[in-house]
Structure 1
Amino acid sequence: MKTINSLFLSLAALFILSACEDDADKYYLSSLTENELIASTNNIVLTEDIAQKNVLSLAWTDRTLAINNPDFKPTNLLKTSIQVALNEDFSGTIVESTETSLSKTYNGAELNIVTNNLGVEANVATKFYFRLKGTTGNNIEPAYSNVEVITITPYELDMRFASMLDQNGTDTGMSLFSVNTDGVYKGFVGVNAWYNFLIKEANGTIWRNDNETGMPFLLTTAGDWKCWFPGVGGCYYITIDTNNKQWNGIQIPTLNVSGDIDATMEFNQTSRKWTATFNANAAGSMTIQISGTGKLYDHTCANPNDNGGYDIDDTKAKDTPMAFSGSSTALNLGETAGDITVNVPQAGECTLSIDLSNPQQWTVSVEEGSAEPEPEPEEGQYLYLPGIGQGSDWTYDHKIEVYYKEEQKYAGIVDVNSQWGSYAMTLFSSGDAWDTSKMYTIANDDSESTAENGTLVNESAKNIPAPAAGLYLFDVSLKELTYKTYAVGNNIYCYYGIEGDNNLYPIATTGTAGEYSGTITLSQDSNWGIKFYIKDDWTGAYGGSNGKLYYNSNEGIPLTAGTYTITVNLIDGTYSASNK
């Protein structure tokens, strides 16, 4: 068995010269010659148990370009690839990957995908040939390393499953299931508004948004665009159709339980469970029905925008009945609710739970007691402002929420009443963890930053000046290390989203901090949905849907023609609209 430790003792590089000529001088560019490739092993048996463990490492030496004139400095044109084939002469199919370092390590799943793409039989030991390919230009023949022969026994890929990746390509733990192994994957996911994602099949194929048209809900394997969800977070039932190269999602705001149990269920995004607490009269079997109405989003919900791209129009989402039938251990999804029998363990307080985390099997059960509390928010969801509120302690009950995760931007409405006249910012939610790497203040010698705006430092330095008591919009960028605050007065302003009407209509405070209420009348359906602004100069936009407000949202709240009583709570990020 060869080891990487012997790499630098055994590698040798030879150079041949290839002429490069112009009308005046003649320069010579060193091309590439054989350069020994080292493998960490020559026999591997792959199993699903070691799918995430490193099983093979390859390494090679550096190569440089040499010019016979030291005053001429070429750009780095070297391109290095690893090639894998089933034949020693590399005839037939080749799997090739571009490399940017001097080594490559495969885990079990990655190596198994390579074997699958070469079409070998599962559970059969097969010889694979690895070599290094180097090129320095289109007019120069590539050079190859020695060939390493590695015997690999692959396992069978389960093409029934596909994984959801985040925008950075990291597995989210959420997977989809293809019942007929036909490239159509379905399942439930829990996501934030505007969540960006990729879908990875078991053979390594990654699906992303079509970047030629930019149309949302269309798929491709080329480019670098991510798919994205609408501006409404929560529970989605999604279908990824790789054959027709499109996907859709049904957003489910609530599920209702009827029959022997009468309850409204709530969704836990982290666990992908719907739960409801109820009081049972007695233990034993009960028959229930579970149903709701979702909103179907697909490519027909796209609207061209002024930037040459597309927005997702909530008003075009189609009402879609969503209901469960089957048994408690094998739920089926459809449009009509069926009778489902559940076992209630005791009289008194119980919790009904629908578990949708396994895309292959959905279940419903009843447990004693109340539902488990929501898990702590993941780090980075909120930015806390200790010292901004009233009280002698620096409490963590004032926070703002991330609205652009990739750029680390946070915003929110805060009722300011700082006893100390200053405050800090932290990604922690309690005073037990004053890790300065998660704390943001202003520099000790900063004389420019004010209560209205300033520059942050990522350390425990000087506290940030607090605004005078009152309601403020905080807009913070941890990436740019800046903050801004905007005073919110006794009115906020509603934009009707009707073509030709660019007025902003005031809605007055109710006297409760952050709450505003008033009547609006739409002469016609809102073209783009209504939005709220904290000032009449278009500062601080809020859109939303399904009772939830979203800062800086592209999507307004869809309303048809009519007169509405509007109530908005900017601190809680909620709204209601009742038609008179």
Structure 2
Amino acid sequence: MKSLYIKTMTYSLLMLLFVSCKKDETKVVASNGTAPVFTATQSTLVLDSASAKKDAVVLNWTASSFNYSAAISYAVQLDLAGNNFSGPKEVALNTALTKTFTVAEINNLVNQLGLTPGTAGKIEMRAKASIGDVFAPAYSNVLTLTVTPYQIIIDYPSLYVPGSYQGWDPKSASKISSVTDNKIYEGYINFPDASTDFKFTPQPDWNGVNYGTSSPGTLNAGGGDNLHQDGAGYYLVKADTKALTYSLTKTVWAVIGDATGSASSDTPMAYDAVNKVWTVTKALSVGSFKFRANGTNDINFGISKQVTGKPVYNGDNIPVATAGTYKIILNLAIPGNYTYSLIKQ
């Protein structure tokens, strides 16, 4: 009997110890975070490169709580209005509860999102609070910001094209550029005269390699006659300094597509020599269109799926979501930085 009593007490003590250990292992589980309250000092921004270093907008949000001892990290998310933050740009801010964007910072972000330079567009912003990848983040209310960005110019490797059309001054000459830095250059240049002589040079002076020619279509590095083109017009100029070749194609631009009223007939554009852009004011219906040169699809611009406002060769049709009269602008003046815009009248 005494042995049975001892065994029973021992078993009871072990059970108490086990229960005690289980209680010691009880863990605190994070709750869903409370939504921060998000505010902004501006709702409309017209950005200017001359003010790039100045403050554009200040964002503030209240602290979130997850009922957990870990530090809460915050970020600001930005996306095109209507995208439901399916592909946002995110700016991580650690534990800060405020963010001041300079003009340059916000301009860079909205350009990446695809807003068209010089045209007002809408983005949405919100604050994100999180305590790690294991727990679902908490999101604030959403604010809409109307932004008119300026174009970000990327300075690609280039050749200057000094010639008779601009006084043989390399510094002020038009350029053609190699976007992939593969020694193949292209750009669009207006030659206003009936006959034009020119050369290529890799720097804005005559101290580098000056490319001339000994026969049409070929380049001589460091010598040769002037390159020559007969006929005034707006030319697609290409040069390959590895293969030592060049070409010029005269272009006249138009828009075409069901949004313009015809998918088989061009609507001509006019060249604005002062602003160096092609324009047309046209009533557009809901649908789509493209830019094309010389009445064929050999040289055409559509839209990039990643970046709106940036024309790409043989791209997708450009959508028109709202019918109306638009000023359509195609800007091919800066090589590698081509843009288009639709401005509702």
* TM-score scaled by length of structure 1: 0.34
Q: Distance in 2 between matches of 1:480 and 1:260?
A: 53
Partner of 1:137: none
Counterpart in the other structure of 2:20:
none
Distance in 2 between the 1:425 and 1:560 partners? 43
Q: Is 1:543–1:557's contact at 8 Å kept on the other side of the alignment?
A: yes
Aligned to 1:442: 213
**Residue by residue, what CA displacement relative to the aligned partner does 1:338-382 show, whole Å, maximum 9, x if unpaired?**
63379xxxxxxx8775899xxxxxxxxxxxxxxxxx99935x2x2
Give unmatched runs, 5+ long, in structure 2. 1-38, 61-75, 110-151
Structure scoring higher RCO (CA < 8 A, sep ≥ 6) equals 2
Q: 2:295 aligns to what SS in structure 1?
A: coil
Match of 1:484 among 247, 259, 265: 247
Query: Is the contact made by 2:54 and 2:103 (CA closer than 8 Å) also made in structure 1?
Result: yes
Q: Summarize the alignment of residues 455-470 of structure 1 with structure 2, pairs less than 5 Å apart.
A: 455-470=218-233
| Match of residue 399, structure 1, among 175, 183, 195 | 175
**In structure 2, which of residues 50, 75, 79 is the aligned counterpart of residue 293 of structure 1?**
79
Alignment equivalent of 1:259, drawn from 36, 41, 48? 41
Long gaps (5+) in structure 1: 1-256, 268-274, 281-285, 296-315, 332-337, 343-349, 357-373
Distance 1:555 1:479 in 2: 32
* Distance change (3 Å), C-alpha of 1:531 and 1:260: closer
Aligned partner of 1:423 among 198, 203, 207? 198
Instruction: Report deviation, 1:385.
Output: 0.6
Contact 1:494 1:531 in 2 (8 A): yes
Q: How does 1:54-133 map to 2 (within 5 A)?
A: none
The Cα shift of 1:414 comes to 0.8
Residue of 310, 318, 322 corresponding to 1:548: 310
> Secondary structure in 1 aligned to 2:223?
coil
Q: Which residue of 2 aligns with 1:505?
A: 266
Matched with 1:568 is 330
SS in 2 for 1:400: strand
Q: Distance in 2 between matches of 1:415 and 1:339?
A: 49
1:180-227: CA deviations, max 9, x gaps? xxxxxxxxxxxxxxxxxxxxxxxxxxxxxxxxxxxxxxxxxxxxxxxx
- Is 1:340 the counterpart of 2:99? The answer is yes
One-letter amino acid of the counterpart of residue 435, structure 1: G
Q: How many residues align?
A: 237
Quick one: distance in 2 between partners of 1:317 and 1:534?
37
Match of 1:536 in 2: 295
Superposition misfits of 4+ residues, deviation over 6 angstroms: 264-267
How far apart are residue 424 of structure 1 and its match?
Answer: 0.8
Matches within 5 A, 1:145-294: 258-259=40-41, 276-278=52-54, 287-288=58-59, 292-293=78-79
Counterpart amino acid of 2:329?
T
Q: Distance in 2 between matches of 1:502 and 1:260?
A: 42
Q: Give the match for residue 577 of structure 1.
A: 342
CA contact (8 A) 2:194 2:232 kept: no
Report the CA distance shift for 1:480/1:504 in structure 2 as closer, same or farther (over 3 A): farther
TM-superposed deviation, 1:504: 4.0
Q: Contact 1:562/1:579 (CA < 8 Å) preserved in 2? A: no
1:377 aligns with 2:148: no
Offset of residue 262 of structure 1: 7.5
The 1:516/1:341 distance shift into structure 2, 3 A limit, reads closer
2:284 to 518, 521, 536: 521
**3-state SS of paired residue (2:221):** coil
> TM (normalized to structure 2)?
0.52
Of Structure 1 and Structure 2, the greater helix share is in 2
* Structure 1 equivalent of residue 16 of structure 2: none
Partner of 1:546: helix, strand, or coil? coil
Q: Is the 8 A contact 1:387 1:419 kept in 2?
A: no
RMSD of Structure 2 on Structure 1 (CA): 4.5
The CA deviation string for residues 420-439 of structure 1, in whole angstroms up to 9 with x for no partner, is 941111232x106x322xx4
Q: Distance in 1 between the 2:246 and 2:258 partners? A: 29
Identity %: 19
Q: Pick closer, same or farther for the CA change 1:325–1:260 going to 2, 3 Å.
A: farther
